[in-house]
Amino acid sequence: MGETDWITVIGGGLAGAEAAWQIACRGVRVKLYEMRPRKMTPAHTTGHLAELVCSNSLGADQDDKAPGLLKREMRMLGSLIMACAERAAVPAGGALAVDRELFALEVTRRIESHPLIEVIREEATRIPEGVSVIASGPLTSDALAAEIARLSGSEYLYFWDAISPIVTLDSIDLNIAFRASRYGRTLGGENSDAPDGDYINCPMTREEYYAFVEALTTAETATLRDFELRDERFFEGCLPIEVMARRGKDALAFGPMRPVGIRDPRTGKRPFAVVQLRQDNIAGTLYNIVGFQTNLKFPEQDRVLRMIPGLQHAEFVRYGQMHRNTFINAPALLSAALKLKDERVARRQPPISEPRGAIFFAGQIVGVEGYAGNAATGLLAGVNAVRALRGAPLVTLPPTTMLGALCHYIAHAQPEHFQPMKANFGLLPPLAQPPRDKRLRGAAYAERARRDLQTAIESQGILSDILSPVQT
């Protein structure tokens, strides 16, 4: 491999940053394109790499939970995103949540200080020759989306995603709201600044709940932009709170507002419903309203959300809003190694030959959901981009691992019915001898995944080509 060889990564989000890091740590130069802050998106507010837009939580962190298993696998594979998340972690019970700004700054610092990574602050409007990773995310610019469509010959699918509001801690009435985690679970120890619980809970009586639902379902929503309304649809895991409420008057009480495991210290009883707020920054001055992604107009949010007990005088530092989410029809286009299928590459004019023309996709644009899933696919795409450049066999992870199962799903789902997927045990093959106690099955899945991933790491030499870590 000569001095002029490099790999292009398009997109500086979670997947793009992880891909660039994995490539550079294997001794290959990277040109990482990120259009922000020169050209902003409707959802981002900074030019930092890996800026988190929707939530500050990367999901459950226990091995016996599917999102936690995925994060364990990422740690085993040397993930940059996991390392940075742990440095910026804030209390969140059994979840891994981060201070958004510190997390993005840490990722940006490490990427920009790596001697083999060149960050180019320009919009990528075409896919360059050579090996590349496209991780442009759900807000892919129109010019690049048109280029990808020309390359793949594929129509795009769209749905809408929503962002939760954030309030200041000082504006929450803690004479009504109280700190607690469900069933008393906390991070505890030195990692927790909230010894009484990692969440702030706003309890509701039956009357308060039904009045809130009525106001929520009749409030005015913002007009969707950029696409015709016939393209409007939502990923089930990111439904706006008002959309959930319209499914039935008790939908929220059995969904994000379910009070199970919570006791109101004022009454000693379980409230009828509860709204939880999660710490959003390390300083503990900001809290986001968990599960309350919304598309209500800002004045309506200000009116309706103040009906929540404890938030009557809330100071909103960010209101909820909608943003576009774009993803490709991955089963028709990609292999489980996240590589664009050869016949798709041949559409380019003039035709290009392997291995220099290998194109990989990663992140939310491939149809994975959740921050960890996005970053994990970036990790695998980065590993395989180096393999393609060097003419080595590509890595395909066992479907018994969570990352392998996600990649298998996006490569083998029915193209006509393809929808984004997040980490879940339903993607994994059944256990040969499942425990009779269903509560133990998560741990059994996790142990099998750990064992099979370790075998794959050793048999495929996944970590063997990593150079000495760069001190950044």
At 407-424, the pLDDT tens digits run 999 999 888 767 778 898
Q: What is the DSSP string of 403-431?
A: HHHHHHHHHHS-GGG---B---GGGSPPP
CA atoms of 465 and 461, how far apart (whole Å): 7
Stated pTM of the model: 0.76
Residue 21's nearest CA partner among 106, 107, 103 is: 107
Q: Are 288 and 280 in contact (CB under 8 A)?
A: yes
What distance separates the 2 farthest-apart alpha carbons in the chain?
Answer: 73
Task: Give me the mean pLDDT over the 128-146 stretch.
Answer: 87
pLDDT number for residue 53: 84
Task: Give me the mean pLDDT over the 38-49 stretch.
Answer: 83
Which pairing describes strands 132-134 and 6-10: parallel, antiparallel, or unpaired?
parallel
CA atoms of 288 and 391, how far apart (whole Å): 47
Q: Are 54 and 235 in contact (CB under 8 A)?
A: no
Q: How many helices (H) and strands (E) does the chain have?
A: 13, 16
Q: Where are the alpha helices (DSSP H) in 338-397?
A: 342-345, 371-390
CA dihedral 121, 127, 132, 136 (to 10 degrees): 60
Helix (H, G, I), strand (E, B) or coil at 291: coil
Question: What's the pLDDT tens digit per position in 310-332?
Answer: 999 999 988 988 777 778 889 99
pLDDT number for residue 356: 45
Which amino acid is present at 281? N
CA atoms of 399 and 402, how far apart (whole Å): 7
Question: What's the pLDDT tens digit per position in 228-275?
Answer: 333 345 555 567 899 999 999 999 999 999 999 999 999 999 999 999
- Name the β-bridge partners of 359: 132
CA atoms of 12 and 14, how far apart (whole Å): 7
Q: Exposed, middle or buried: residue 433 (CB in 10 Å: 0-12, 13-18, 19+)?
A: exposed
298-to-42, 219, 303 alpha-carbon distances in Å:
15, 11, 9
Helix (H, G, I), strand (E, B) or coil at 325: strand
Helix (H, G, I), strand (E, B) or coil at 31: strand
The full length of the chain comes to: 472
When computed from its CA atoms, the radius of gyration of the chain, rounded to whole angstroms, is 22
The first and second tokens of residue 318, run together, are: 């960010």
Confidence tier at 192 by pLDDT (50, 70, 90) = very low
Which pairing describes strands 321-327 and 157-163: parallel, antiparallel, or unpaired?
antiparallel
Confidence tier at 193 by pLDDT (50, 70, 90) = very low
The first and second tokens of residue 90, run together, are: 């804030």
Question: What's the pLDDT tens digit per position in 425-445?
Answer: 888 988 999 998 878 999 999
CA atoms of 9 and 386, how far apart (whole Å): 12
Domains of the chain are 6-156+328-459 (3.50.50.60), 162-324 (2.40.30.260)
Give percent above pLDDT 90 in the chain.
Answer: 64
The first and second tokens of residue 470, run together, are: 């760069």
368-to-77, 96, 231 alpha-carbon distances in Å:
19, 19, 19
CA atoms of 423 and 403, how far apart (whole Å): 8
Confidence tier at 141 by pLDDT (50, 70, 90) = confident
Residue 378's nearest CA partner among 356, 398, 403, 354 is: 403
Is the link from the previous residue into 37 a cis peptide, with omega within 30 of 0? yes
